[in-house]
């Protein structure tokens, strides 16, 4: 039987506010345990939550970017359960009236564009951390993370493969960092993904029973976990078993998912509106202000890059992978008037070198205007691609401009027909065997001869001209 995988994601996006969602305590990561827990996070008797308004603005930002409904009245609710790192015995979250509903996010899988519907995004507080390793026979509680603002973004079960799920997660990750509402640091838990996975025979309308894979903190784990989980469900059913609704954990070491709790063990969270907090009211003016403060969105920018700079939709998608990269590209493409070339360079050589050095686009030592000088010299034929790579590396290392390096190292491409003819003649004379082979119909011999000419020119000869002149001489 052919099976279809159905996936919906719940993503916890940590908002990058300076202080916590319901108190003035700092949200900075990595401080000594419990030094960033105020009376509110400690849940002392009598303390009360006060909403950090910056959280609402950031939620509105995401809502607008997802083309969603902003609920101008939305309500905080208490989600009740006991756990030592949940100091109040309930989490303040949103249930019936979340701030954001009915959004959508476009993803690109291969060449195919697809829209994933976003059911809702709601504001909530994070819990603290339980530390089981450091204390023999005891559990340590660190409440520094408690009260850190989160947006939980819930998608519809619109994805049909691990690849689509990863594309959605990446698109959302790009969006929240683009919007400046999340630092995107997955190692530190700023962007955590839960995947609801089910399978059904192709063509069946009803969904299968889902299992929720918790806390996937990298795109790779997300992909592995979904693939493993889907396969496990298919095998279970094909072996005559039934999938039971459950929450499972992914073990990155074994690459397997394992049961955390079954549906029978599921909590009754007894949600009810939090009487300590008034309903959040959002005015038209507030929405308009937030809209006015927003940067151009990746989807809009992508379309503009295709239109204005002639890059492919795929390249445009890569270039709008972060605001820094998109900004760099736009500056470089504009300054050089070479959109396609700029795209190729950024996605190719520049990305490769950044990757090699473990750097981010923001750390690129050559600014966009200077790098566009290199593109100009490629476009006007001064540099071959090969020379350009050499110049690029020199620019990176020295900080000098392309023109200065070309001048200093004498790297100008030779396009003088006479000079190239002379080199070609010398090479033909020195390689009678290759000439023989070419004439006998061995096309490859031409490349060998061209290579010899390039070598003789120390790489400076214009390769197109070399090919052309070789062909003339051998004709």
Residues binding another protein (CB under 8 A) = 39, 42-51, 78, 80, 82, 84, 87-90, 141, 268, 270-272, 275-278
Q: How far apart are CA 4 and CA 21, in angstroms?
A: 40
Q: Compare residues 43 and 474 and give the one whose CB is closer to another protein.
A: 43
Query: Minimum Å distance from CB 82 to another protein?
Result: 6
Query: Minimum Å distance from CB 274 to another protein?
Result: 8
Q: What are the phi and psi torsion angles at 207 (to 5°)?
A: -75, 155
Cα Rg for the chain, rounded, in angstroms?
A: 29
Query: Minimum Å distance from CB 96 to another protein?
Result: 11
Query: Minimum Å distance from CB 265 to another protein?
Result: 13
Query: The dihedral of CA 177, 183, 185, 188: what is its sign?
Result: negative
Q: Residue 369: helix, strand or coil by DSSP? A: helix
Query: Minimum Å distance from CB 289 to another protein?
Result: 21
Q: How far apart are CA 345 and CA 378, in angstroms?
A: 11
- Check: CB of residue 97 under 8 Å from CB of residue 123: no
Query: Minimum Å distance from CB 137 to another protein?
Result: 12
Q: Compare residues 88 and 323 and give the one whose CB is closer to another protein.
A: 88
Question: What single-letter DSSP state applies at residue 251?
Answer: E
Query: Minimum Å distance from CB 329 to another protein?
Result: 45
Query: The dihedral of CA 164, 320, 297, 301: what is its sign?
Result: negative
Q: Compare residues 239 and 264 and give the one whose CB is closer to another protein.
A: 264
Q: Compare residues 136 and 242 and give the one whose CB is closer to another protein.
A: 136
Sheet containing strand 3-14, edge to edge, reads 69-70, 100-109, 112-125, 149-155, 3-14, 191-201, 211-216, 246-251, 256-262
Q: Compare residues 273 and 327 and give the one whose CB is closer to another protein.
A: 273
Q: Compare residues 87 and 298 and give the one whose CB is closer to another protein.
A: 87
Run of H or E residues at 362: none
Q: Compare residues 49 and 103 and give the one whose CB is closer to another protein.
A: 49
Q: Residue 245: helix, strand or coil by DSSP? A: coil
Q: How far apart are CA 353 and CA 337, in angstroms?
A: 23
């Amino acid at each position: 039987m052919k099976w279809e995988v159905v996936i919906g994601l719940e993503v916890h996006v940590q908002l990058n506010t300076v202080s916590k969602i319901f108190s003035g305590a700092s949200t900075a990561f990595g401080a000594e345990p419990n030094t960033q827990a105020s009376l509110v996070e400690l849940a002392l008797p009598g303390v009360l939550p006060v909403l950090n308004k910056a959280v609402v603005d950031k939620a509105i930002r995401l809502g607008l970017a997802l083309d969603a409904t902003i609920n101008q009245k939305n309500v905080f609710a208490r989600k009740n359960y006991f756990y030592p790192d949940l100091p109040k015995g309930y989490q303040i979250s949103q249930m019936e009236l979340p701030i954001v509903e009915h959004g959508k996010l476009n993803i690109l899988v291969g060449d195919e564009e697809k829209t994933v519907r976003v059911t809702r995004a709601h504001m909530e507080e994070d819990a603290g951390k339980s530390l089981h390793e450091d204390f023999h026979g005891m559990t340590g509680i660190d409440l520094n993370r408690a009260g850190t603002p989160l947006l939980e973004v819930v998608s519809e079960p619109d994805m049909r493969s691990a690849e689509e799920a990863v594309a959605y997660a990446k698109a959302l990750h790009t969006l929240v960092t683009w919007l400046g509402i999340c630092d995107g640091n997955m190692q530190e838990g700023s962007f955590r993904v839960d995947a609801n996975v089910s399978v059904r025979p192709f063509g069946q309308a009803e969904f299968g029973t889902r299992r929720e894979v918790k806390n996937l903190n990298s795109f790779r784990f997300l992909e592995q976990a979904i693939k493993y989980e889907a396969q496990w469900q298919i095998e279970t059913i094909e072996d005559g078993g039934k999938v039971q609704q459950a929450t499972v954990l992914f073990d990155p070491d074994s690459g397997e998912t394992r049961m955390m709790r079954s549906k029978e063990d599921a909590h009754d969270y007894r949600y009810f509106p939090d009487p300590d907090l008034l309903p959040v009211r959002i005015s038209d003016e507030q929405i308009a202000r937030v809209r006015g403060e927003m940067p151009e969105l990746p989807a809009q920018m992508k379309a503009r890059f295709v239109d204005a700079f002639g890059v492919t939709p795929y390249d445009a998608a890569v270039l709008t992978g972060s605001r820094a990269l998109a900004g760099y590209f736009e500056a470089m493409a504009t300054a050089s008037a070479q959109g396609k070339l700029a795209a190729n360079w950024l996605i190719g050589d520049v990305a490769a070198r950044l990757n090699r050095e473990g750097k981010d686009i923001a750390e690129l030592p050559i600014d966009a205007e200077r790098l566009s000088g290199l593109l100009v010299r490629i476009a006007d034929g001064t540099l071959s691609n090969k020379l350009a790579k050499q110049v690029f590396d020199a620019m990176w290392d020295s900080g000098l401009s392309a023109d200065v390096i070309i001048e200093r190292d004498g790297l100008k491409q030779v396009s003088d027909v006479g000079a190239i003819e002379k080199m070609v003649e010398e090479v033909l004379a020195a390689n009678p065997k290759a000439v023989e082979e070419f004439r006998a119909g061995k096309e490859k011999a031409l490349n060998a001869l061209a290579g010899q000419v390039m070598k003789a020119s120390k790489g400076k000869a214009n390769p197109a001209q070399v090919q052309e002149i070789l062909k003339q001489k051998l004709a």
